[in-house]
Chains A and B, each alone.
Chain A
Amino acid sequence: MNPSDTTTVIGFFTGDGFAGYADAVAGIVFLIMLATTLIGGIIACSAERLVRAVSGLALCFIGVAAIYYYLNSPFVAMMQMLIYIGAVCVTIAFAIMLAAPEESKKNGPSGPLSGPLGLITAGLVTMGMAGLAVNTTFSVLPKENMGEVKLIGVELLTSYSMVFELVSIVLLIAIIGSLVIARHGRSK
């Protein structure tokens, strides 16, 4: 904004003149969130060191949480921070530190999709997704509430209780599976 424009400055202080810039500022903030998510994702995929990859993943999750907050669901945003950064990333980093040191890490043989074939695949997938996004007519749903915790809880335990239970079964299967893998090859 232009500081010499006095009316704007006064309006800025009272909060009225800000309205005209709200869209622009919101757009910039949204772009920053997108950039954070994308940069985090790229670091997570391309980093040589595993700990750096985890840090990239954490950055990506922060971006996603910010987008949730932007979309007016602070509860989901905070849960994203608490679970994905506070628990998932920390656990992965913890596991990396307890595992072999970085020096002994060797690159495995590259798969069939490395090189030009991979580039073509990535291009095709991007084109498909972009085409889908451009050609779909998105219908804007009416805003029903402010995303209160109470409403989310009630919905989870009434309308979506089946999904809720299924997710917990998936978690149980994951825990049993990891136990089986961890026990494999170990003497009784």
Chain B
Amino acid sequence: MSLTILNAVIAVVIAIAFAALNAAYLVWAERRGAGRIQRRPGPNVNGPLGLLQPPADGLKLMTKQLVIPGGADKALFMVAPVLAMAPAIMSFVTIPFSDSIVARSMDIGVLMIFAFASLGAMSVLLAGWSSRNKYGVMASVRAVSQNISYEIPMLITVITIVMMTGTMNLKELVASQSGGIWNWNIVPSLSSPLMPISFLIFFTCSLAETNRAPFDLGEAESELVAGFHTEYGSMGFGLFFMGEYANIVIGASLITILFLGGWDCPLGLFPGVWWFLLKIYVLIFSFIWIRWTFPRTTIYGLLNLSWKILIPISLFNLLLTAGLLKVF
């Protein structure tokens, strides 16, 4: 056994630090980006470019009193935010950032990320229910029906890719796409002509799975106050926020690994962790861009999009790819 307890502890600490740092500074990026899109400055007072805003926010959240509403289910109220953050950190363990930077390369990496992501729905349900708030319950029912319906096309798309590459190990998935942009999964090949559409489906589903606008019906401010975390203040809210951004980073990493060749350079030169980080931050920027430029959909429109459009297309793509893989 080369994996000692010390190694495990170091890996976990790095995973938590990466998740927390990303959460803090993605909030800053989000607010600056929103400001830019809405023609206002955004946070620009604390430090150069407002870069000291996230630590200030963090301190404020940590020093605030944690108020538990009367009539709330105390134990579950406390568990829900932890359940939002912990699975996200677990998922970081198996994500390879480059050929050598991975905490634990598992044969079932894809499956593990989806297994832990599925705990997120439970956290939203418990948060909404335990705070004993109408808006909370309504929002959590919405968010979970959305999560369940978007998990299906997402998984079907992943099955298509696993069928093409024959592995669920994230490192091997990237290795199978190495050597330049023409080898990436997003580029249509003879056996998988519909890959760009798969990419779009997966991208849409990750937006929906992370409860981001235009699919943020779980926390629709104009209808449900703040959705499932209406009653949460201080670090309870902070954990939900960090969990959301950690999930965005995981979603972007998964898109990068499955479709965009991971740490591979588009021209096949100098592969390394910098390409991976570049790709995930471009994707995250597009998430932010979409959030602030599209209006929110309705819940019916959202569920119809999944069940009537995305699932049939992804199923068709699965069958087509299976057939073509047999032929070629």
Contact = CB atoms under 8 A, between A and B. Distances in A.
Given A90-B148, A97-B140, A55 B4 contact: no
B57 interface: no
Interface string B130-157: 1000000100110011001001000000
A135 B104 CA distance: 40
Contacts of A97: 125, 129, 137, 140-141
Interface of B is mostly: helix
A89 B73 contact: no
Interface stretch (A12-20, A117-125, A154-162): A12-20
B108 A149 contact: yes
B112 A78 contact: yes
B6 A12 contact: yes
Contacts of B79: 55
Contact of B122 (A12, A52, A93): A93
A144 interface: no
A90 B144 CA distance: 8
Contacts of B73: 49, 51-52
A22 B1 contact: yes
A58 B122 CA distance: 9
A58 B2 CA distance: 32
A164 to B, nearest CB: 17
B121 A78 contact: no
Interface string A140-176: 0000001011000000000000000000000000000
Interface stretch (A30-38, A79-87, A107-115, A179-187): A79-87
A85 B111 contact: no
A98 interface: yes
B116 interface: yes
Interface string B71-96: 00101100100000000000000000
B114 interface: yes
B85 to A, nearest CB: 16
B118 interface: yes
Contacts of A55: 76, 79, 122, 126
Contacts of A42: none
Interface in A41-92: 49, 51-52, 55, 58, 74-75, 78-79, 81-82, 85-87, 89-90
Nearest to A91: B148
B122 A90 contact: yes
B11 interface: no
Contacts of A86: 114-115, 117-119, 121-122, 151
B223 interface: no
Contacts of A75: 108, 111
A94 B108 contact: no
A5 B111 CA distance: 42
A74 B115 contact: no
A75 B107 CA distance: 9
B2 A81 contact: no
Given A49-B73, A78-B108, A97-B129, A18 B118 contact: no
Nearest to B137: A97
Contacts of A15: 1-2, 4, 7
Nearest to A43: B75
B111 A82 contact: yes
Interface of A: 12-13, 15, 18-19, 22, 25, 49, 51-52, 55, 58, 74-75, 78-79, 81-82, 85-87, 89-90, 93-94, 97-98, 146, 148-149
Given A78-B108, A97-B140, 8 more contacts: A15-B2, A18-B5, A79-B111, A94-B145, A97-B129, A149-B107, A149-B108, A149-B168
25 contacts: A12-B4, A12-B5, A13-B6, A18-B1, A52-B73, A52-B76, A55-B122, A58-B122, A74-B107, A75-B111, A78-B108, A82-B111, A85-B119, A87-B118, A90-B121, A90-B144, A90-B148, A93-B125, A93-B129, A97-B125, A97-B129, A97-B140, A98-B141, A149-B111, A149-B168
Report, nearest first, the 8 A-B pairs whose CB atoms are least far apart. Answer: A86-B118, A81-B115, A78-B115, A82-B115, A78-B111, A18-B4, A15-B4, A90-B121
